[in-house]
Amino acid sequence: MIDPYYLQQLAIGLSLGMTYALMAIGFTLIFGVLNVVNFAHGEIYTLGAFAGLVLISAAAPPAVAVIFAALAIGALAGFSLERLAFKPFRRFTDEASLKSRAMRESTLLSSLAVSIVVREGLEIGFGSQMQSIPFAYLINTPVRVGPVILVTGDFIIFGVAAAMLVGLQYLLTRTRTGLAIRAVSNNPLGAKYVGIDTDRTIIVTFVVGSMMGAAAGILTGLYYGAVFPAMGFIPGIKAFVAMVMGGLSSIPGAVICALILGIAESMATTFVSSGWSDMVAYGFLIVTLIFFPNGLFGARRERV
């Protein structure tokens, strides 16, 4: 018989991993269509959480409305981010420019700039200290499952994230918009020849990816009861690690690696103090980069 403690840590790790997965998908989708890393993705997560917080303090709506508000802000933030930090560096004159190195380097810096401006902006507006979420909105009511005690948040996070993953899968395989996203990821020049509006597809990709990032932010905020301007940084790095481990452009790879990461971190707290659990992710990153430079799932170079 396994000690219930481990089952509990496993469940917590799964829900933690799901939030990383939501973040990692945003990274992966955007990397797929543009071949660039979006350094402002962590701030999308923060914005999602703050959108929820602001709405809660202003109107005290039902929790579902809070999540939808975060999704809406995520979509808006993704759209603005693309127009502001990515579009100006893109010139569609030949196939090389869409995934060129110059674009990669300039958007790396422009997205980093957006990230800094957003974080500092939030600090000016809200202060850098933690804002607490009103008690009524917290998702930490204990739930007993056999010998294991979990909280409602574990189920809600897992459920919402799983629903979003299924929705994403449907989008990418069954809808014209999703097929266009995959087409641009696979072959941007080919996409133009079949009449795909690549510019529009890139915007849609940012919107979808950012909605998932914002959802991760608000869910984590409600789970831990705290929201602060720098909250997106660490999850951003964890999601980045999951993306690299998954092979940069494979969504299933990123999701599986995000779950492995979440479970490994939560298990690690058994053996080391929780302050050290962040080291797990960085350890994974180093091991991946040394021994699996293509990522654990990257050998096939499957995109999106």
Rounded CA separation 213/47 (Å): 9
Residues found near other proteins in the complex (CB under 8 A): 92-95, 176, 179-180, 182-183, 186-187, 189-198, 302-303
User: CB of 98: closest distance to other proteins in angstroms?
Assistant: 11
**Token reading at 153:** 């948040």
Q: Kindly state the smallest distance separating residue 296's Cβ from other proteins, in Å.
A: 18
Q: How far is the CB of 33 from other proteins (least distance, A)?
A: 13
With respect to other proteins, which residue has the nearer C-beta, 138 or 180? Answer: 180
**Furthest C-alpha separation in the chain:** 63
Rg of the Cα atoms in the chain: 19
Closest distance to other proteins from the beta carbon of 130 (Å) = 44
Work out how close the CB of 93 gets to other proteins at its nearest, in angstroms, rounded to a whole number.
7
Please name the residue that has the structure tokens 């955007």. 30
DSSP calls for 54-104: HHHHHH---HHHHHHHHHHHHHHHHHHHIIIIIGGG--TTSHHHHT-HHHH
Handedness of CA 226, 278, 164, 139 (dihedral sign): negative
Q: Is the dihedral of CA 158, 163, 168, 174 positive or negative?
A: positive
CB-nearer residue toward other proteins: 144 or 176: 176
Q: Which is nearer to other proteins, 135 or 193 (CB)?
A: 193
d(CA 165, CA 161): 6
Cα atoms in the Cβ-side hemisphere of radius 13 Å centred on 71:
12
With respect to other proteins, which residue has the nearer C-beta, 3 or 197? 197
Smallest distance from the beta carbon of 203 to other proteins, in angstroms? 14
| Residue 52 CA: distances (Å) to CA of 49, 70, 79, 153, 174 | 5, 6, 19, 16, 31
What minimum distance in Å lies between the beta carbon of 286 and other proteins?
29
Report in angstroms how near the CB of residue 212 gets to other proteins at its nearest.
22
Q: How large is the angle between the packed helices 4-34 and 251-271, nearest 10 degrees?
A: 150
Q: Looking at beta carbons only, is 4 or 300 nearer to other proteins?
A: 300
Q: Which is nearer to other proteins, 119 or 303 (CB)?
A: 303
CA 174 to chain centre: 22
Complex with other proteins: residue 3 or 95, whichever CB lies closer: 95
Q: How far is the CB of 302 from other proteins (least distance, A)?
A: 6
Strand bridging mode 142-145 / 226-227: unpaired
Tokens standing for 15? 């829900």
